[in-house]
Amino acid sequence: MKTQHLILLLEDETEIRRFVRSALEAEGYRVHESPDCARGLIDAASRRPDLVLLDLGLPDADGMEFLRRFRGWSQAPVIVLSARSDETAKVAALDLGADDYLSKPFGVAELLARVRAALRRRVTGEQGSTLSFGDVVIDMGRQSVHRAGSAVHLTPMEYRLLELLARNAGALLTHRQLLREVWGPNALGNEHYLRVYMGRLRHKLEQQPARPRHLLTESGAGYRLVV
């Protein structure tokens, strides 16, 4: 039985919009189109989509504005579709909470694979579970982190990295695995992302960030979370 997930498509280029809608509907997805940022925010609030496909070059505002405001109340997956291929734009979108970034032009197979992966991650997150280490508690159902009873503020990307490690606690996750799952396939090779974000997590969650006991580096291989 085909899925009935609702996907909100924010894209102002008619040809791309038709191409994307046709591909999605052929797979059984329901698609609602929004032509600009203002309409997209209204539609997102009223229709509560399961996933958003977001073009950054909207006619009335930068797509980053939609992402910033949408992330204020929703954790539904967002895949950015954009002709901007520079690393700065990708990092900015991902830091604001985008789940993936697909550079134009792209093919149907790649688009559908990204959509399926994002929806799978959402289902896994909604099933939820709790993990504790040291004085830290991660509630993956509520997407919250507490340390010694106090809430810890994490950016969307910090949380995604921590959750991936938590769902695979004890296992070594390679640089490639972490980059692919957290930042997407286009980030492969950018290992400095991991160094920066692991440093942030250790600062917020470890008793001695310079001598971590839980968020461990496996030299030349990757990282693991030890509980």
**Max Cα separation, the chain?**
54
CB neighbours of residue 57 within 10 Å: 14
Q: Look at residue 3 and tell me whether its pLDDT is greater than 80.
A: no
Q: Could you read off the pLDDT of 161-181 as tens digits, one per residue?
A: 999 999 878 878 888 889 988
Q: Are 217 and 165 in contact (CB under 8 A)?
A: no
pTM of the model as a whole: 0.59
Q: Could you read off the pLDDT of 43-76 as tens digits, one per residue?
A: 999 999 999 999 998 999 888 999 989 988 888 8
Q: Which domains does the chain have, with CATH numbers?
A: 6-126 (3.40.50.2300), 129-225 (1.10.10.10)
